[in-house]
Amino acid sequence: MDWSYWKTVLLITVWQISASVCYYSVFAATPFFRDAFGLSRFSVGIVVTMVTFGYAVFLLPLGALVDRFGERLTLTLGLVGLATATALVAGAPTYALLLAAVFVLGSLYGTAMPGTNKAVFDNIQPGKQNFAMGIKQVGVTGGSGISALLVTGLAGIVFWQAGFVVATVFGLVVAFGFYVLYPHTSGDGTADYPDFRILLSNRPYVLLTVAGLFLGAALFTTTGYTVLYVEESIGASVAYSGVVLALVQLFGSIGRVVTGWLADTLPGDPRTRIGAILIVQSLAGAGMFVVVALTTTVVGATLAFAVLGFFVLGYTGVYYSVMATLVSADEMGGATAGGQLALTSGALFAPPAFGFLADTVGYRASWLLLAALVVVAAGLLVIVIQTPASVSKPAAMDT
């Protein structure tokens, strides 16, 4: 692998880390939101829903803009906006304004997946794309892990908004560096907007996005409630709970790299082998939700959440790799936006439902709900890999 490969992967990954530090700071700060604004568990779920709602609303239009104008401009402006919105969240004086600020933050994060996925499949040659995707997706879990340590760690030393301030500065610096260093080779403003009607007629793609609805419900709810659950139910401190969330993200990063490497290395038809990896991850994740529900000790919870992170937070890279076997390269921006919209839409209903069950029945029922959702996703994925493809030249092809 030459220097141009690693330069591209490094730039995309650092951008993704910075964007995710901004976005996931909201998830790490749920205990502080609860204390600062006197929120119930259900109201905390509404905060998570609002940030993901903003993400969902703007994913498709921002995905279209990525295909139209290219990733260099859209990712740069997106990160500047994310950094600014992070500062707004930290300064929100009321619960209503907090909801408005996290909505803006979530909407600007909509540039992330369409832009970075398009960058990978535009610039990385076949046979190396899935590994690059896995590395790039480490930016999501890595950024989330960093935000967990920043927000919960600095809160005990300075004030709870300090992590948001650091995230804001980091985002602005990375945005400038990305714009200067990223090659200006795509998105000259003359390309067409994606035709979403074509994507909707692609049956395996549609089935994959439906599976993504359930996968996203599990993923975003896990990141949104880990700190609060470990503190309240297991009895650990907020700082230690932040460490647990960071471990979830760390093992999620490992899962993304390992599965990306396997997707490039294992023999067989690309869609079948990559889809099979995603099915195994989903079923294993469902099993780990059951383990989390039954674990009561700090050590046991730490280990259970780490393994859960490997599977549940580790499957997004493979999710997009499966998608790349179903659509053409010039559809990747719009297709990614649709796929991410599905993942994010799961976070619109699952966190409040999780919080409601935790308030009325207990956390055990909440974790078992997530296990059931992931099992449904696995069943849909089986249908995806068995359904004939509707494109002759997908974005991801073997060399």
Read off the pLDDT of residues 163-176 as tens digits, 9 standing for 90 and up.
Answer: 889 999 999 999 99
Residue 90 makes CB contacts below 8 A (sequence gap 6+) with: 161, 164, 165, 168
| Radius of gyration of the chain, Cα coordinates, nearest whole angstrom | 19
- Longest CA pairwise span in the chain (Å): 58
- Amino acid found at 274: I
The pLDDT of residue 367 is 95
The answer as to whether 397 is a domain residue is no
| Burial (Cβ within 10 Å: 0-12, 13-18, ≥19) of residue 280 | middle
Instruction: Count the Cβ atoms, other than its own, within 10 Å of residue 38.
Output: 9
pLDDT at 187 over 50: no
Residue 283 half-sphere exposure toward CB, CA atoms < 13 A: 10
For residues 23 and 223, the answer to whether their CB atoms sit within 8 Å is no
The answer as to whether 132 is a domain residue is yes
The pLDDT of residue 214 is 94
239 vs 366, more confident: 366
For residues 162 and 47, the answer to whether their CB atoms sit within 8 Å is no
Report d(CA 301, CA 340) in Å as an integer.
29
pLDDT at 76 over 70: yes
The pLDDT of residue 35 is 84
The pLDDT of residue 196 is 67
The pLDDT of residue 399 is 44
The pLDDT of residue 189 is 47
Question: Region 379-396: what's the mean pLDDT?
Answer: 80
The answer as to whether 396 is a domain residue is no
The pLDDT of residue 333 is 67
- Amino acid found at 212: G
Q: How many domains does the chain have?
A: 1
The answer as to whether 162 is a domain residue is yes
The pLDDT of residue 188 is 46
pLDDT at 60 over 80: no
> In this structure, what CATH number is given to the domain that contains residue 27?
1.20.1250.20
Question: Region 194-201: what's the mean pLDDT?
Answer: 72
Instruction: Count the Cβ atoms, other than its own, within 10 Å of residue 160.
Output: 19
Question: Token pair for residue 326?
Answer: 């179903």
> Residue 153's pLDDT band (boundaries 50, 70, 90)?
confident
Candidates 246, 10, 279; CA nearest to 143 is 246
The answer as to whether 252 is a domain residue is yes
Indicate the SS3 state at residue 112.
Answer: helix
Question: Token pair for residue 184?
Answer: 């200006």
> What does pLDDT average to over the chain?
84
The answer as to whether 393 is a domain residue is no
- Per the structure, the complete domain to which residue 338 belongs is given by 3-386
The pLDDT of residue 7 is 81
The answer as to whether 394 is a domain residue is no
